[in-house]
Amino acid sequence: MRKSLFVVCAVAACAMPIASSAQAPAGKTLDMYFIDTEGGQSTLFVSPAGQTLLVDAGNAGERDLNRILEVLKLAGVKQIDHFWMTHYHGDHYGSLFDIAKQVPIKQLYDHGPSIEGDRPNIQKFQAAYAEFYKTIPRTVVKPGMKLAFAGTDTTAVVSASEPLKTALPKAPGAGKANPLCANHKERDESKVDPDNHQSAGFVLNYGRFRMVDFGDLTWSREFQLMCPTNQIGTIDLYLTTHHGLDQSGAPVAVHALQPRVAIMNNGTRKGGAVQTFQTLETSPGLEDIWQLHWSYAAGVEHNAPAVMIANIDERDQLAAILTGAPTPPAGAGGDAAHSPAHYIKVTARTDGSFTVTNSRNGYSRTYAAKP
């Protein structure tokens, strides 16, 4: 079903919006906007109480800044009540200071000092950040800490390589032994940028709806978080860890979480690894994968149906799909900044149902509440 839908959309060039498969019930919702930062991260949450949480700030420069500001404007955001920085990499903190010049930020969260402090770019950012939080309250995240994001129950579950030690109360499946731990395969992570290990991640609950964001948490730290006991339980929505790179997304975590839907914040050539898709495709109960970009690495065999991909470089990518043409070289086609840049929106309700919408074509799908 996934592939036939993809081919039909490819032939039609996805020019026309496709009607939603179900109408969402009226009422207050938690709204999430997964913004295209070309394989970086920036996600806006707007609670039913009207509070805002912005997780990460994409890359530096006008491209990502303008995309983030555009979504903030679209969502009617006047201030950022909470800014959560998962870790100190430029594709996550890049536009922070420039955003703050246009939209006031009320509270900052991070995992504490970077362990990459010997790198000139990190030194420069941390010095500027220290001046920045002299005037804005800052919290160093600890596992188990509650984020006062009004209308939700949001809990930090990992930070600075320290995982949550106790089961989340009333979370489905939390506190049970994770049988997948026995088959986990260790990795050599000596070449992985170490601040990824430090990522601050959380579980967000809105009524019965549950989602996670672990930043760029790595393979071995996912094991530490999920073993020997799954303290988190099962979830509805999974933002793929580390942009869908194969340095993360271990089955011991993904399959234990059992997400119904995954959203991949990948770029055309960043993230979207074949291994990540294979892990998702075999995850118990997974219904759909949505992507911010077509992934050249994954090819037609693994990319989601085109209607579920927010940004497609149509000239090169559709030609490759239909004719088997070779992948364009780096620097051609897919690497160029595109305009407009499309986002993926998720609208969640307290009964656990939620709707995912692709802003490129208006296609949406509603996932009913679990019994």
Q: How confident is the model at residue 218 (pLDDT cuts 50, 70, 90)?
A: very high
Residue 14 has pLDDT above 80, yes or no: no
Beta strand residue intervals within 73-217, DSSP E: 82-84, 108-110, 138-140, 146-147, 153-159, 162-163, 176-177, 201-206, 209-213
The class level of CATH for 2-8+29-348 reads alpha beta
Does the pLDDT of residue 38 top 90, yes or no? yes
> Is the model's pLDDT at 20 over the cut of 70?
no
Residue 27 in this model has a pLDDT that exceeds 60: no
CA 215 to chain centroid, in Å, comes to 7
Q: What is the pLDDT of residue 321?
A: 57
Q: What is the mean pLDDT of the chain?
A: 89
For residue 339, name the pLDDT band (cuts at 50, 70, 90).
Answer: confident
Residue 166 in this model has a pLDDT that exceeds 90: yes
Give 220-245 pLDDT, tens digit per residue.
999 999 999 999 999 999 999 999 99
Instruction: Give yes or no for a contact between 368 and 349, defined as CB atoms under 8 angstroms apart.
Output: no
**Does 366 score more than 50 pLDDT?**
yes
Q: Using 50, 70 and 90 to split pLDDT, how confident is the model at 201? A: very high
Of the chain, the percentage scoring pLDDT greater than 90 comes to 81
Predicted confidence at residue 327, as pLDDT, reads 55
Predicted local distance difference test score (pLDDT) of residue 29: 97
**Mean of the pLDDT values across residues 274-287?**
98
Q: Where are the domains of the chain?
A: 2-8+29-348
Indicate the range of 114-123, 171-180, 320-329 predicted with least confidence.
320-329
Which two three-digit tokens encode residue 154?
């949001």
Check whether 145 has a pLDDT greater than 50: yes
Burial-class residue 166 by CB neighbours within 10 Å (0-12, 13-18, 19+). exposed
| pLDDT grade for 319, boundaries at 50, 70 and 90 | low
pLDDT digits (tens, 9 = 90+) for 254-276: 999 999 999 999 999 999 999 99
Ramachandran sector of residue 304 (left: φ over 0; alpha: ψ -120 to 50; beta: rest): beta
Task: Report the pLDDT value the prediction gives residue 8, as an integer from 0 to 100.
Answer: 35
pLDDT of residue 17: 35
Model pLDDT, residue 317? 59
Name the more confident of 95 and 187.
Answer: 95
Helices (H), the chain: 2-11, 62-74, 90-93, 96-100, 120-132, 219-226, 251-257, 274-281, 299-302, 314-323
**Residue that wins the pLDDT comparison between 202 and 299:** 202
Confidence of residue 324 (pLDDT cuts 50, 70, 90): low
Which pLDDT does position 322 carry in this prediction? Answer: 57
pLDDT of residue 213: 98
DSSP secondary-structure letter at 208? T
DSSP secondary structure letter of residue 262: E
Chain position carrying tokens 């996600």: 43
82-84 β-sheet, strand order: 138-140, 108-110, 82-84, 52-55, 43-46, 30-34, 344-348, 354-358, 364-367
Q: 0.85 cut: is pTM over it?
A: yes
State the average pLDDT over residues 69-89.
97
**Helix, strand or coil for residue 305?**
coil
